[in-house]
Amino acid sequence: MVMAAIEIAPRIVIDEKVCFGKPVIKGTRVPVVVVLHELANGMSPEEIAEEYGITVEDVRAAVRYAAAIVANETIYVTSER
């Protein structure tokens, strides 16, 4: 069975045939993690949009998706240092 792209958040999709099923910007092969790394390294949303052929709103969608993942993250402490 071939899986089609599944929208997991606004503008964010997964498809087993694109980037090994990692979340990407819808309609592109641009992984969310690449957008986040570029932001973390100092690129502006406008620079990222231009560099990767996406929109500033796509960049914002990647950040919203990442924030939602972190907000729902559960951390288990297994030992103290």
pTM of the model: 0.88
Residue 77: CB atoms within 10 Å: 5
d(C-alpha 62, C-alpha 10), whole Å: 9
Report whether 14 contacts 6 (CB < 8 A). Answer: yes
> How sure is the predictor about 47, in pLDDT bands with cuts at 50, 70 and 90?
very high
> How sure is the predictor about 6, in pLDDT bands with cuts at 50, 70 and 90?
very high
d(C-alpha 72, C-alpha 65), whole Å: 11
What average pLDDT does range 50-79 have in this prediction?
96
Report whether 45 contacts 59 (CB < 8 A). Answer: yes
pLDDT at 2: 61
d(C-alpha 4, C-alpha 6), whole Å: 6
Residue 65 has pLDDT above 90, yes or no: yes
> How sure is the predictor about 1, in pLDDT bands with cuts at 50, 70 and 90?
low
